[in-house]
Amino acid sequence: MFSHTEILIANLFRNTAFRNKAVFLLTVFIGLLLIYAAFSGWINFQKQNEIRAKYQEQARKDWLSNPDKHPHRMAHFGHFAFRPKAPLSVFDFGMESFLGNTIFLEAHKQNTVNFSEAGFSTGMLRFGEISIAMVLQVLLPLLIFFLGFSSIANERENGTLKILLSQGVSWKELIVGKSLGIISVVMTLFIPIIVATILLWALLQNMNISIDESIRLLLIILVYFVYLVIFCVIAVLVSAISKSSKTALTSLIGLWLMLTIVLPRGSQALGAYIYTAPSKAQFNADIENDVLKEGDSHNPNDPHYKSLKDSLLTVYKVDSVQKLPFNYSGFVMAEGEKISANIYNHHLEELLKIYDKQNSFSKGMAFLNPFMAIKNLSMALASTDFASYINFQEQAEQYRYEMAQKMNELQIKFISNKKPAAGEKPHTIDKKHWEEMHEFVYKEAEVSTVFSHEIISIFAFIFWIGLLLFCIRILSKTLKAI
C-alpha cells in the first residue's frame, strides 16, 4: 500500500518528533487533558443518570399513589419525563448541557423541556466543556500543526530537500511519508484514549451492549481517524508550499483559529440571522390563536363544540347532554385535546423546519471546514445533538397525549353526566385505573437516522479526502526544492 521509501520517511519523522521540547510538552498537556476529560465524562454520566432514573421512578410512584379521584384531575396532576444520558455522551457531551432533560406533562398544555445544566451553571460553561471529543476536535489538530509545520519547510531551509529529491525521492513519497509520520505520532494519543473510551462505554452499560451502540462507537472511531488524517495532510501540504518554517507555522496557526473558532461561530450566527425563528412568546401566542379559531373546548358557546353537541343529541335522540350514554365533558375534552395537539404539532413542525435550515447552513460550511463535519457527526453518533433532543421531545409529547386521552377515556366511560348534588361526594373512579397508563420509557433513535440527518457532513468528509488527494497529486508535479 505504501512504498518502502514512504515508510522510511515516516519512521524517521516519528523517531525525531519529540526532540522539540514544545511539541513534547504540548503532547503531555493534551494527554493529561484527555485523562481529565475521560474521568469527568464518567463522573458526569453516572451522576446525571442516577439522578434522572431516581426521579423518573419517583414520578411513577407519585402517579400510582394517587387516591381515588376524577380522571380529569389526574390529567392535570400530570407526569414527568426524564431523558437518560446516552452511553456515548461520556465521549462527546455535545449540546446536552445546554438543552433540557426534563419535561412536565399535563393535559391541554405542551410544556418546554427544562433543567439544563447550563441553567444551573455560571457563564463559564458558555466557553465549552472539556470532553474527549472537544480535545480531539480542537487541541489535537493544534498538536498536528506544531508537528507538521517544519516537516518539509525545515528541509528546504537546511538544504536537505535538494539532496532528498536528487537521490530519487519523489514529492509524492515525501508528502505521504511525512503525513504517515505525523499520523503515527498522533496515534500515540489517539489509540489509548479510544481504548479508554471503549472500556468506559462498556462498563457504564454493565457490558450490556447493543448492536446499534456498537455501530455508533465504530463509526466514531472511523470518522475521528479520518478527521485527524485530514489535518495531518493539511499540515504537510502547507509546510511543503511555505518558503520557511516560520511562514508555515504562522499560516497553520491562523488556519487553526479560522477552522475551530471563527468559522463555526460565524456560520451559526449567520444561519440564525438568515433564517429567523419566532420567539417562544410568539410561538405560544400563534398556537393559542389557532386553537381559538379551531375551537375552544372550555367555551360552551364555541361554534365548533355547539355543533358537535347538537350532532350528538341528534344521533342519540335525546334533548340534553345529561341523557347521553357517556360522559359528555370527557368527550369534549378528548376532542379539544386532539385539536390542540394537532395544532401544536403543526407549529412545532414549522419551527423545526426553520431550525433545520439554520443547521443546514452551518452543516454546509463543512465543505469549507472539516471541523464542522466532525462536530456534527460526533454529536449525532453520540446522541447528544439537536435531533436527539427533538426525538425526546416528540416521544414525551406522544406520551403526554396518550395520558390525557386515557384520562378522557376513563371519564367518558366511568363518570356520570349528572353533577353531584350539594353535600354529595364528587365523582371519582378507583385508583387501580392509574396503572392502565404505562410508564414513560425513552427510546434512543437508531443509528440509521444519523445518515439521514448528517448526510451533508458525510459528503463533506468524502469531499475533503478527494480534495487532499487531488492536491497531493497536483503539488507533487509543481513543487520546487527552492
User: Which range, 42-46, 275-279, 405-409, has the best average confidence (pLDDT)?
Assistant: 405-409
What value does the mean pLDDT take over residues 393-397?
93
Residue 273 exposed, middle or buried by CB count within 10 Å (0-12, 13-18, 19+) = exposed
What value does the mean pLDDT take over residues 66-91?
91
Buried-exposed string 240-269: b where 16+ CB fall within 10 A, e elsewhere: bbbeebeebbebbeebbeebbeebbeebbe
Q: Model confidence at 123, in pLDDT bands (50, 70, 90)?
A: very low
| End-to-end Cα distance, the chain | 30
Q: Model confidence at 323, in pLDDT bands (50, 70, 90)?
A: confident
Query: Could you report the per-residue pLDDT of 181-208, keeping only the tens digit for each?
Result: 999 999 988 999 999 889 888 888 888 7
**How far is it, in rounded angstroms, from Cα 100 to Cα 144?**
36
pLDDT in the model for residue 313 = 86
| Single pTM value for the model | 0.88
**Could you tell me the three cell numbers for 65?**
399513589
Query: Could you report the per-residue pLDDT of 225-244, keeping only the tens digit for each?
Result: 999 999 999 999 999 999 88
Is 70 exceeded by the pLDDT of residue 255? yes
Tell me the one-letter amino acid at 345: N
pLDDT in the model for residue 125 = 47
Query: Could you report the per-residue pLDDT of 447-468, keeping only the tens digit for each?
Result: 888 888 889 999 999 999 999 9
CB 380, CB 387: distance < 8 Å: yes
**How far is it, in rounded angstroms, from Cα 332 to Cα 298?**
9
What value does the mean pLDDT take over residues 24-43?
88
pLDDT in the model for residue 150 = 87
Is 80 exceeded by the pLDDT of residue 325? yes
Q: Nearest to residue 197, comparing CAs of 371, 42, 374, 48?
A: 42
Mean pLDDT over the full length of the chain: 87
pLDDT in the model for residue 54 = 92
Domain ranges of the chain: 4-478
